[in-house]
Every structure is written in C-alpha cells, then in structure tokens.
Structure 1
Amino acid sequence: MPRVGGAFALFRRKWPTPVWEPMAPFIIAGGIVYYGVWQGQNALTDTDEFRNDPRNRNAKPSKPEAH
C-alpha cells in the first residue's frame, strides 16, 4: 500500500492523547508572565535614568542645534 501524505501525515492523525487540557495552565501562565515582563519593561523605560537615552524608543528626539 503506498504512503499518502508524505512526512506530515503523522500530524493529521487524531491521537487519543489530550494536549490542550493539560497544557492550558502553562499556556495561560506564559501569557501572564509575558504581560508582566512587558509592563515591567515599559515602566523601566520611563525612569529618569533612561528617559532621555537615545536607545529609548519613547524618548523625544532632541532638536538639532541651530548653526
């Protein structure tokens, strides 16, 4: 009998093992950690030390000096 579907035929098979139910707490926790790190990074970019740093994306560009 010829093989139909190639290498990805294994991914189309329905496996009796639950995947999403046991992984749901880890996926949700990963989202919460991602959001927390994102908010922490935004809070640190607003500190006095990095407010005017040219690497800061939120820094206002300095005006060039007039000649």
Structure 2
Amino acid sequence: MFGRRAYPTPIIRPLWAFAISGAVIYATVWKLQDSMLALPEFANNPKNPHRKAVTEHH
C-alpha cells in the first residue's frame, strides 16, 4: 500500500521552468523596488521604509 506505485507521477520535473521563472521575476521585482525607493522623488517620502531619519539639532 505505501510502497512504490506502478506508475509514479513526476511532479518536480515538469515544474522546473515555473520555479526558475518565479525566481527570476522575484529578483527583478526586488531590484526594481530598490531602485525606485532610491529615486529622489521617493527617497524622503515618510512611507519609504528605507528612508534615513533626518534629525535636526537646534
């Protein structure tokens, strides 16, 4: 019952292209997001999580 099946179904082999394309799309979106957050228009936006806090001393 729990041994090898007579007709094993390949799951990983046909899906390798989807895994590779998902990784490429993830990396591309990550780089695009980082470059957009570094633009001067968005660099000082309070919603930017990577904004450097500017402290003013009076």
Name the TM-score, length of structure 1 as normaliser: 0.70
The one-letter code matched in structure 2 to 1:23 is: L
| Count of residue pairs the alignment pairs up | 55
Percent identity between matched residues is 31
Q: Which has the higher contact order (CA 8 A, sep 6+)?
A: 2
CA change 1:14–1:43 in 2 (3 A) is farther
The structure 1 segments of at least 4 consecutive aligned residues displaced by more than 3 Å after TM superposition are 12-15
RMSD: 2.0
- 1:60 and 2:46 equivalent? no
Structure 1, residues 11-62: CA drift from partner, whole Å, max 9, x if none? Answer: x776611000000010010000001001000000000110111111221112
Shift of 1:65: 5.8
Tell me whether 1:18 sits opposite 2:41 in the alignment. Answer: no
* Structure 2 gap ranges (5+): none
Larger Rg: 1
TM-score (norm 2): 0.79
